[in-house]
Structure 1
Amino acid sequence: MSPNHNHTSPMSQASSGSTASPDAIHVNASRRTFLKAGVLLTTGAGGGMLLGFSLPAAGGPPLRAGVTDELVNVASPPQGVFAPNAFIQIGTDGQVTLIMSKVEMGQGIYTAISMLIAEELEVPLSRVVLAHAPPDEKRYFDPLLGGQLTGGSTSIRYAWDPMRQAGATARTVLVNAAAARWQVDPSTCKAEDGTVLHAASGRRLGYGDLVADAARHPVPKDVKLKSPDQFRVIGKPTKRLDGVPKGNGTAVFGMDVRLPDMQYAIIVNCPVFGGKVASVDDSVAKKVPGVKQVVVLDDIVAVVGEHTWAAKRGASALKIRWNDGPNGKVSTRDLFDDMKRAAKKQGAVAKSVGDIRDGLDKAASRFDAAYEQPFLAHAPMEPVNCTLHVKADSCEVWTGTQVPTRAVDEVNRATGIPKDKIVLYNHLLGGGFGRRLEADMVYKAAAVARRVNGPVKVIWSREEDVQHDIYRPCYYDEVVVGLDSKGKPVAWHHKVIGSSIIARFAPPLFKDGVDIDAVEVLTDLPYAIGTQRIEYIRQEPRHIPTGWWRGVGPTRATFVVESLIDELAIRANADPVQYRQSLLGQTPRAKNVLDIAARMANWGTPLPKGSGRGVSVLHAFGSFMCMVAEVTVDKNNDVFVKRVACAVDAGMLVNPETVEAQMQGGIIFGITGALWGEITIADGRVQQTNFADYRVLRIHETPKIEVHLVKSAEAPGGIGEPGTSAIGAALANAVYAATGRRLRALPLVRQLKTPAGKTASKTV
């Protein structure tokens, strides 16, 4: 359990009286150096075996299977710990602790990565307990993301080899240790159910009994991994380790942290990004019972109280005059006009195959289309929050973040406290979707906390979170397609205009003017198209900050590509499924999921008037997917999604149950975004405030979702974001089938409610 909690978390299951010393848990938050890989094995009360980069857990009684918020000590392994490489701890009782550098926000990786370890280590999954890793990029560097991050649908792709190797290495050392004790050849022994067995003599030793011996044995550099036909854990539907505590309310999220003498702060941000506080009248706020102080900073005001209600009432009583700055009159229409003007320029070339001018000139016909997509907010169910205790020369931080090392950086920037004196306790996330890939909330919380005596939890209300998010960018796409005499694309010229998240978030990856995320999917189309030119034009939306939103590049690009392919099929008088099939001969995995989804959805069978089916194919994140959505559009132009058939080829599946759940959740998230999702700007301000005007799909509106998982021997692909990325175009194409109206802008419902032939206003 994290130091200074005043409650015992059932997730940690620590025995009464067990505590970790805050003074012994300082984190080295150095950045970007080394790939984490391997396992850590530690002790319960004394002595243990560590296989990792030297990552022992804090001492204390053994924990049962589940998730613990115990913080590990990276700097100095306890005596007797074996520490050649990374993430598993085995105690003398045989229990395995997996130190997780990835964070759980609903995607199921705590269970799936535990399954990788359990498979190769030959232990029951019930014997695995998880602990959050501290910020440490030397040990927890993810090469797919360039840091210690969770995102990009990379967790299993990243862990697939390193975690299995770590488990196999630990198993090999344990077998060698047992063989040495028995004075037999290791090849005559095998690991089984958390023990080592010598079949010839019937002797058996538990892993806990072998910890001390194993610490004296050399660690092999190369170990043999199991073949898929030997898997007993991987590939089996498995209930999630974090399911029960989340279900019964005992799971600890950042919002659940309670510390002795903790105060609560409510943030009020400047309504215009880039604006400043001009003046504050806090006289009434300070009279609210329970209000302790008001903190005024450059662009925020925080009210600190004895409890949340006092702080919230105090914040409502503030009289703040803001200086909007130069962006106080900006509207959404201004931002789209900026992008349309930018589209007239030549962009940075992301991909070029053949001579695009020649290809278009020689085409039998041409087709032009433009697409618009709005800002989107994340709106996770757990609003952003951060608890800090800033002292004279140290700081402790409790939060839920996808970027723990960046969070430490922001505390350092706000307080000046050295990074090695900042301790961060990471927690489960009540939704992330990319919002917690940012650390702006941590910086602002630290700036407030350094002015507060004692620990303080800084909370953003839902309204503050929606109106001061770091938004999915708005985009404008222009596409010109050259077609042959049969209506098949032979030349494809595509311009993407929009903000560059990469240039801000990972500047070294922004090369030659190309944002690799914004053009993702477009530079690797699954369809057979000869001549191609993909361009990117960076156009920042003035003062609005932009960031990741559950697969930004594939989400936005798939809507454009699959909407356009559908439109080309109709133009060619072809069935949309058959048209795609004819273009996917060189991408058999994509064609296979298309065929399966079409059969699942009974493609081609008649539907009632006002209903329609739409199809969308996706190849992204290392996975292939097809969705067929069935919708009904009523006389008020409201869209009701009745059914979604989804076929997924995500390579080898670690936990099929999690994959299916991720598809369901991603589809629901994507339906919300495609039908209603939109953040608009007027007078420099975000107009939406809460779920009343930032609409989400409701339980009774959820369609029947059928998921077919393709059995595959390929390496695992990503699954957290593809569902959201694929559904938007399927819905747009289904709306066309139901209404005859082709919509090239989102959100779909607002577009439908705009009279045909007119453009929906983006000023409100």
Structure 2
Amino acid sequence: MNEAPASRGGFQMSRRRLILGGSLVGGALIVGYAATHPVETIGAVLQAGADDLEPSVFGPFLRISADGWVTVVNKHQEMGQGVHAGLAAMVAEELDADWDRVRVVDAHGNFRAYGPQLTAGSGSIAGAWDTLRNAGAAARAMFVAAAAKRWDAPEESLVVLDSVVSDLNSGMSASFAELLEEASRQTPPDAPELKRPEAYQLIGTDRVRRKDSLPKSTGRQVYTQDVQLPGMLTAMVARSPRFGGALARFDAAEALKIAGVVDVFAIESGVAVVAENTFAAKLGRDALKIEWDDSAAEKRSSDELVREHREIAAGLSDVKPAAFQTVGDPETAFGQGAAEFAFDFPYLAHAPMETPDCVARIDGWSVEIISGSQMPTIDQVQAARVALTLPGKVDIKVLPAGGSFGRRGVLSADYLIECLRIAKRTNGRPVKLIWTREDDITGGYYRPMVHHRAWVEIGADGFPARWRHHVVAQPLFFIGNDFTVEGVRESPYFATASVVDGKLFEPSAPTPVWFWRSVGHSHTAMVMEHIVDQLARRAGRDPAEYRRALYEKANASRRLVVLNELRRRAGWGEPLEAGWARGMAVHESFGTVVGQVAEVRLEGGRPSVRRVVAVVDCGIAVSPDQIAAQMEGGVGYGLSAALHGAITLKDGVVEQTNFDGYPLLRMNEMPAVETHIIRSTARPTGMGEPGVPPIAPAVANALLALTGEATAALPFRRRDQPATAGL
């Protein structure tokens, strides 16, 4: 039997030369600087060891070739959300490029060229709004300056349309391809003039459509699973079935008898089986004999964890809370008539269609990684630490990913690190690490199990006078955990309360948790929106009118606009057929306000949703078609979790292993989704996640209207079955 390995030594920065220099990514060109600012210093360290850059004359995000094609470099992760189209449109709009001759390529991990590469928080469009528009506007100015010199014409008489510069006075014109050499010699302006929203010809139109639909439809799109390199090996890892479990010993004799198995060895997360192909790696892993040390492992079941969360919220434990919202005197006693609300939420898996995977090769100091990396900047640092090299020597080729929802953006870079630890043992041969669906469902990094308990004292006017709110969840982050209570902390529903006492309890547990699509909003929207509907019923008020009054008291003008449009579009208050009811939810997340009305009935004791009307205020709508697609995807993802989603533990072992036990929304369960966008000239805000939070409370509120019964836990249980103590 083989013993588990001891932990290895740390990263030695002195092994390679630090290059303290870098570049600014603010205008059209890369400009050198001395690393004196903290952010610049971080950038210099991250790119330490990297080769010097050879930037395009139009900056790191824009390339124009001799044939006139405009290439936009996408530093963000494309994981199905279609963000590349909106990013390219921002450049093309200011450049006045021919949209049919604009393409997008994915950037390698490179902090010096692109700044932080972290696709998270629905921030790609919003975060790139200034940078990419300035890149396009600066390049346009360079072409105009080149044409003005060629024709000895004033720049004011020149116009640009579809990659062609024309002189209104002389009638002369030239394409970008014809002017490219002269334009490349122009000095880009420090502050190029940007268009006003009313002048947009591309942004906000249906012309801004995905540019990857054809390769995805024909199978030409390359994902990590498709990568094949000369001499490449395939690896799988056997991991403890319990979180916190450790490897005690293993016997690889039977695994090594499998044809195609090359090597078997222990790594920090388990036992790696390396083979010539996937089938051999799987058979080899199945043949392993392993003993696990469960002395520090999670051994509780979900029903125990639910009870413990409830006890913590009630103050019956030694878990100390932290205040997240305090108004007035939190020690104020609540009256006997205070309404009490409790909600339980289970662990949820991300379950992207493409399971975690990675290709890695180590050649001396150089590391090559090919993966659908959501956070290349973090992954570079983690890879350098494991490979004992410098971050700049880690080349991450970022591929599109078949979904993520947060799973590919884990700070520990768990599966990437596994792949590198294996690559250190393959003598320079590239290796592809594959997680099976079972590995993914049982492998951790879930949306935390959460319990909410709220006490609301209602004033004579029917609105909240005092509000106490306790939230219990494992911490998501090691510094600050406002993520867990986002959506509660800033709620407009506190506007009428003279006392607000919000406390967050964070028990520790071995089960690894992380950001799940819409993060804290994935449960706080359900709690706040469902409580408000119940308060409206107690006050004898229509839920929409009740919200309107609270929004007015809170001066929540954007919510008011969305609410009014939602009522109109959804036909709120109009009669429905017998057995159907409408439910409403309005929630703000990632700077975007989304309102949804769901039409619901019960079929076999379970909710069936036929129609969802959505209204969204996301600032300037760069790509309306993609906004509608994201709303549809968000509704589907959120409804899937609300109807079916639950990861449960039995004696510390995950009970679900594949989609038979962790089902996703079926096509026949997907409602028709109508998306209506509020016209705006404000900066764009996020759209990748805001469609998720409102759907569960909208359905719950429809069920409340239909049956008079509130929802106290997700996923929705059958309404013809009794509630249980657990989930």
- Structure 1 length as normaliser, TM-score? 0.85
Give the letter aligned to residue 201 of structure 1. Answer: S
Q: Structure 1's 538 and 34: CA in aligned 2 closer, same or farther, altered over 3 A?
A: farther
Partners of 2:501 and 2:414 lie apart in 1 by: 33
CA distance in structure 2 between the partners assigned to 1:211 and 1:708 by the alignment: 41
- Picking from 97, 118, 127, the partner of 1:149 is 118
After TM superposition, give the deviation of residue 667 of structure 1 in Å. 0.2
Report if aligned partners of 1:29, 1:420 keep a CA contact under 8 Å in 2.
no
- Counterpart position of 1:3: none
Residue 209 of structure 2 corresponds to: 239
Shift of 1:463: 0.4
Tell me if the contact between 2:330 and 2:501 (Cα under 8 Å) persists in the aligned partners: no
Please give the residue correspondences for 1:565-576 in structure 2 after superposition, counting only pairs within 5 Å.
565-576=532-543
Report 1:301-340 matches (<5 A): 301-340=271-310
What is aligned with 1:640? 608
**2:621 corresponding residue in structure 1:** 653
What are the superposed Cα offsets for residues 201-223 of structure 1, whole Å, 9 maximum, x if unpaired? 12222223333323332221122
Using the TM superposition, name which of 467-476 and 206-215 deviates more.
206-215
Preserved contact between residue 34 and residue 140 of structure 1 (Cα < 8 Å): no
1:92 equivalent in alignment to 2:70: no
Aligned equivalent of 2:600, options 627, 631, 635: 631
Secondary structure of the corresponding residue to residue 429 of structure 1 = coil
Residues 71-104 of structure 1 deviation map (CA, whole Å, 9 limit, x = unaligned): xx973317xx526x44111122222121111111
Contact 1:30 1:137 in 2 (8 A): no
Within 5 A, what are the aligned runs for 1:656-695?
656-695=624-663
Deviation per CA, 1:210-263: give whole Å up to 9, x if none.
Answer: 333233322211222111121110000132101111111111111111111211
| Residue 477 (structure 2) aligned to one of 480, 502, 505 | 502
Change (3 A) 1:328 1:470: closer
314-323 vs 592-601, greater mean Cα deviation: 592-601
Which residue of structure 2 aligns with residue 580 of structure 1?
547
2:10 corresponds to which residue?
A: none
Asked if 2 retains the 8 angstrom alpha-carbon contact of 1:364 and 1:484, the reply is no
Counterpart amino acid of residue 441 in structure 2 = V
1:446 match: 420
Structure 2 unaligned residues grouped into runs of 5+ = 1-15, 33-49
Contact 1:413 1:443 in 2 (8 A): no
1:37-76 alignment to 2 at 5 Å?
37-39=26-28, 51-52=29-30, 75-76=52-53
Change (3 A) 1:613 1:460: same
| C-alpha displacement of 1:609 | 5.3
Alignment partners' CA distance in 2, 1:32 and 1:300: 40
Of 87, 93, 106, the residue aligned with 1:113 is 87
Q: CA, structure 1 residues 760+244, in 2 after alignment: closer, same or farther (shift >3 Å)?
A: farther
Inter-partner Cα distance in structure 2 for 1:322 and 1:375: 24
For residue 276 of structure 1, what is the aligned residue in structure 2?
Answer: 246
Structure 2 Cα separation of the partners of residues 30 and 339 of structure 1: 50
Matching of residue 701 in structure 1 with residue 672 in structure 2:
no
Q: Which moved more, 1:655-664 or 1:519-528?
A: 519-528
Structure 2 vs 1, CA of residues 591 and 426 (structure 1 numbering), >3 Å: closer, same or farther?
A: same
Name the % identity. Answer: 36
Check whether the contact 2:458–2:466 (CA below 8 A) recurs between aligned residues.
yes
1:479 aligns to 2:493 (yes or no): no
The aligned length equals 684
Counterpart amino acid of 1:160? W
2:92 is aligned with 1:126: no
CA distance in 2, matches of 1:324, 1:601: 54
| Residue type of the alignment partner of 1:675 | L
Bigger RCO (CA 8 Å, 6+ sep)? 2
Q: How does 1:218-617 map to 2 (within 5 A)?
A: 218-237=187-206, 238-343=208-313, 344=315, 347-358=321-332, 365-438=337-410, 439-453=413-427, 454-503=429-478, 507=479, 510=480, 515-527=481-493, 528-533=495-500, 535-585=502-552, 586-607=555-576, 610-617=579-586
Q: CA deviation at 1:357?
A: 4.6
Corresponding position of 1:711: 679
- Is the contact made by 1:153 and 1:718 (CA closer than 8 Å) also made in structure 2? yes
Distance 1:491 1:33, change over 3 A: farther
Q: Residue 77 of structure 2: which of 95, 98, 103 is its match?
A: 103
> How far apart in 1 are the matches of 2:508 and 2:21?
30
3-state SS of paired residue (1:452): coil
Determine if contact 2:485/2:520 at 8 Å carries over to the other structure. Answer: yes
Q: 1:34 to 1:689 in 2, by over 3 A?
A: farther
CA displacement at 1:540 relative to structure 2: 3.6
The CA distance in 2 between the partners of 1:30 and 1:495, in whole Å, is 49
One-letter amino acid of the structure 1 residue matched with residue 157 of structure 2: T
Further displaced range: 468-477 or 285-294: 285-294
Distance apart, 1:37 and its partner CA: 3.9
> How far is 1:415 from its partner?
2.2
Deviation track 1:268-326 (CA, whole Å, cap 9, x = no partner) reads 21111221122222222222222222232233122222211121122222222211232
In structure 2, distance between residues paired with 1:53 and 1:317? 56
Counterparts of 1:30 and 1:252, CA distance in 2: 34
AA paired with 1:427?
L
